[in-house]
């Protein structure tokens, strides 16, 4: 279904580019989606079709006739879901380790989105047809709480909460090394690694600010069990921050955790760590304001069995 937006440019908006202006005004729409609409002729300034880089002036009339969403080319699949909460606006799930969140080239099946479409049928449309309803994501190897929007209003409301950093995001992780400080804050700018483009790094000139709060819950056997809260949500943020601090996540072969198990004195524990095929990181808590009820909501994910198994070998106090 199409929707029409109308704006009259104010004095404070004079001099802005058209695409930047609309990205700020249309919640949940990325700049790439706005560009696509402009290129299709869906945006008119003073009744004339314009371009992305058009500079707006006070009093200009801007009308967006939002085009209908392109048909979704993702197949619903009958995959079991652990649902923590569901109503007409949102669905909150506990994503398992090993499940990819959304389809991508070469990986079209078995994802969380495939499972959600079978369960819900309809999810909020986004600028990417392979990511319906998604306002955030977790890596394949990260388990835990995720929220998904069922309609566009919920999507816009939740996207704004993420953008304004009003979402509570708590993770638990086990890292190599006994972190000396009981708690702390890691701050840096994170961007694409200049050499290894598949990795992220704080050693870049084009990074975005990232803030990671942590508190050590337990130490022992050359490991630390850590509670982590992030205010920003940069790609691989936790993995990068702890790796660059010298304490890579257990099971994280990409960011310094490869073969670290050989340094563990306990042979039984070392053998257990050697079998891990994913970083030991779990999104254990997610808090937000319900997009329609306007109530605070908080959901928890029960700690994975692999965490408990490793924690049983650690001799430090809770």
Q: Tell me the catalytic residues.
A: 139
252's tokens: 């994280």
Helices (H), 132-276: 152-163, 237-244, 267-274
Q: What is the Cα–Cα distance from 293 to 9, expressed in whole angstroms?
A: 33
Burial class (CB in 10 A: 0-12, 13-18, 19+), 253: middle
54's tokens: 């058009």
**Tokens 């200049």 sit on residue:** 194
Among residues 121, 120, 130, which one has the least CA distance to residue 69? 130
The secondary structure element, H or E, covering residue 193 is: none
SS3 label, residue 118: helix
Question: How many Cα atoms within 13 Å fall on the side-chain side of residue 61?
Answer: 6
Q: Please give the span between the terminal C-alpha atoms of the chain, in angstroms, as a whole number.
A: 54
Do residues 204 and 194 touch, judged by C-beta distance below 8 A? yes
Do residues 263 and 254 touch, judged by C-beta distance below 8 A? no
């Amino acid at each position: 279904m199409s929707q029409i937006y109308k704006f009259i440019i104010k004095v404070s908006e004079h001099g802005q580019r058209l695409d930047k202006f609309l990205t700020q005004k249309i919640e949940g729409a990325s700049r790439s989606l706005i560009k696509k609409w402009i290129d299709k002729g869906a945006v008119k300034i003073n009744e004339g079709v314009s371009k992305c880089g058009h500079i707006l002036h006070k009093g200009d009339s801007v009308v967006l006739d939002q085009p209908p969403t392109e048909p979704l080319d993702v197949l619903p699949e009958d995959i079991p879901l652990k649902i923590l909460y569901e109503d007409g606006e949102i669905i909150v799930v506990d994503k398992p380790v090993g499940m990819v969140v959304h389809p991508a080239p070469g990986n079209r099946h078995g994802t969380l989105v495939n499972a959600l479409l079978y369960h819900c049928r309809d999810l909020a449309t986004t600028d990417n047809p392979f990511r319906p309803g998604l306002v955030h994501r977790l890596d394949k190897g990260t388990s835990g709480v995720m929220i998904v929007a069922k309609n566009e209003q919920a999507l816009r409301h939740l996207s704004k909460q993420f953008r304004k950093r009003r979402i509570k995001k708590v993770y638990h992780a086990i890292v190599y090394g006994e972190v000396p400080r009981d708690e702390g804050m890691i701050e840096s700018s994170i961007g694409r690694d200049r050499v290894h483009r598949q990795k992220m790094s704080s050693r870049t000139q084009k990074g975005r600010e990232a803030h990671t709060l942590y508190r050590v819950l337990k130490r022992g056997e050359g490991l630390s069990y850590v509670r982590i809260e992030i205010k920003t949500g940069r790609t691989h943020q936790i993995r990068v921050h702890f790796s660059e601090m010298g304490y890579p996540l257990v099971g994280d072969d990409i960011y310094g955790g490869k073969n670290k198990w050989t340094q563990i004195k306990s042979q039984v524990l070392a053998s257990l760590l050697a079998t891990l095929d994913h970083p030991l990181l779990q999104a254990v808590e997610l808090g937000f304001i319900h997009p329609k009820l306007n109530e605070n909501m908080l959901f928890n994910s029960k700690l994975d069995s692999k965490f408990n198994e490793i924690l049983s070998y650690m001799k430090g106090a809770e």
